[in-house]
Amino acid sequence: MTVKEFWDLVDAIDVDSREDGKYTEDEMYMIGNAFIEMDNSQKREVGGWDKLVEVLHPLDRDGEVMVKGDTFRQWIKNRRYQKDEMIHNDNMLSGQNIHDISFSEFQEKTEELKRNLYKQQVKTRDVMNSYRRTLRDEARIEEIKSMIEGAISKLPELNIEPFSYGDESEGDGETEAVMLISDMHIGMQIDNFANKYNNEIAKKRLDKYVRDTIKICKDNHVQRLNVMNLNDLIDGMIHVTGRIEQESDVVDQVIIAAEYIAQALEALQEAAPEVIYRGVTDNHSRVNVDYKEHIEKESFCKFIDFYLEARLKGSKVVFAHDNLDVDISMFELLNGKTMICAHGHRDNLNTILQGYIGATRKFIDYICVGHYHESKMKTFQGAKVFVNGSICGSSTYSISKRLFGDPEQTLLIFSGNNLAQYVIGLGDA
């Protein structure tokens, strides 16, 4: 805009015909906005902001006439910002000036903006839902643990009659035992020609295993007893046929199994000066019935371990928290050899050794698993794989597959390079 065009703009506004002879705010804004767009030389030729004040006699917010050009200039800038705020926002979102976009284009861009905002809203909601779900799960676990601790505090102290077997003199300090416990399947009821089983029978079989273990350990002067819980202590809820035969639900199964093992560990303190407990997860204790969607950490057997540690607080039983993963335990024996323990549901017995050697990058001397309900031992390139039997024995399912296994558990005694394997039968308990 030239100086002449600017004054033509001012002259075109006929204020002389008005009764008050004053410019309106919109007219003053139009003139001031045109003036602010001119370059500095043109502004000087007009006379600057002070000249505009003389011509327009603008009023401030208090109704007083502005006497300074800077005051009027700031008033124009403030009005311009307020008037153009929506345009600036539209420019920022669409890249076009609001005056240069048609209504249909504006609608299209608005719908696109709504879609993008909704997508972001969904993403944010999903993240927050996941976060809140994690917090809820943690809160529930903490509450359950608190309830367990509270319940345990009300239970009477474990008072197991000590067993006395053989010569109790100390050995050479290198004799060590590994007691495998697995496949008790608390909650399962069996009544067939080959086997009878329920929670009461499970307790009798476990008690016999404990008594025989104490005797064998004392006879061999065992200095350290490793109690290895290979799990499937509960029958769980993963098989419909199993759930039909169960005499207790999963919650009761956890409570019963945990108390049975707690009493066993209390008694096993008589077996050796040092007792160490470890546990791994299994398949029957999983929370999610669908194994394809199951997360290994979500397992009822973790509550059993928590119960045991709280129940045996103050005892000499050491709870080792040194697993490689929730379902794999690896530790070194007193003779310097390495043992790995797992439940076995993820392992193939023919390739188990090379699998663990590849995973750990070291030679594994002994591997112990449960799951198969049949005691056996295999040797691969000098390494030994022990498969533990079951406490429950032959079930309806196993008999349907023509798999007959006696109830039995495995106790291993290590003395230097010597190894003794005891398969303890429990069928007569």
Question: pLDDT tens, 393-429?
Answer: 988 777 777 777 899 999 999 999 999 999 999 999 8
Q: Which of 101, 133, 158 is the last residue of a domain?
A: 101
Report if residue 97 sits inside a domain: yes
Average pLDDT, the chain: 83
- Relative orientation angle of helices 25-36 and 69-94, to the nearest 10 degrees: 80
Report if residue 154 sits inside a domain: no
Q: Which of 73, 101, 129 is the last residue of a domain?
A: 101
Report if residue 26 sits inside a domain: yes
Q: Which of 47, 76, 101 is the last residue of a domain?
A: 101
Separation of alpha carbons 80 and 74, rounded Å: 10
Tell how strand 408-415 and strand 376-380 pair up. Answer: unpaired
Report if residue 122 sits inside a domain: no
Q: Is there a single domain that holds both residue 178 and residue 96?
A: no
Q: Is there a single domain that holds both residue 187 and residue 79?
A: no
Q: Is there a single domain that holds both residue 239 and residue 371?
A: yes
Report CA-CA distances (Å) from 4 to 10, 33, 38, 46, 53: 10, 16, 12, 9, 18
Q: Is there a single domain that holds both residue 329 and residue 199?
A: yes
Q: Is there a single domain that holds both residue 79 and residue 177?
A: no
For residue range 315-356, what is the model confidence (pLDDT) as tens digits? 999 999 999 999 999 999 999 999 999 999 999 999 999 999
Q: Which residue has the higher pLDDT, 407 or 239?
A: 407
Alpha helix stretches (DSSP H) within 18-102:
25-36, 40-46, 48-56, 69-94
The DSSP H or E segment spanning 310 is helix 301-311
How many domains does the structure of the chain reveal? 2
Q: Which residue has the higher pLDDT, 295 or 84?
A: 295
Report if residue 273 sits inside a domain: yes
Separation of alpha carbons 188 and 202, rounded Å: 10
Q: Is there a single domain that holds both residue 302 and residue 395?
A: yes
- The pLDDT confidence band at residue 81, using thresholds 50, 70 and 90, is low
Q: Is there a single domain that holds both residue 287 and residue 390?
A: yes
Distance of CA 350 to the CA centre of its chain: 32
Domain that holds residue 393: 173-425
Report if residue 387 sits inside a domain: yes
Instruction: List the structure tokens of 411.
Output: 């106790």
Report if residue 357 sits inside a domain: yes
Q: Which residue has the higher pLDDT, 410 or 65?
A: 410
Instruction: List the structure tokens of 342.
Output: 């797992």
**Global pTM value:** 0.65
Report if residue 137 sits inside a domain: no
Q: Is there a single domain that holds both residue 271 and residue 397?
A: yes
- CATH number, domain of 375, equals 3.60.21.10
Q: Is there a single domain that holds both residue 191 and residue 61?
A: no
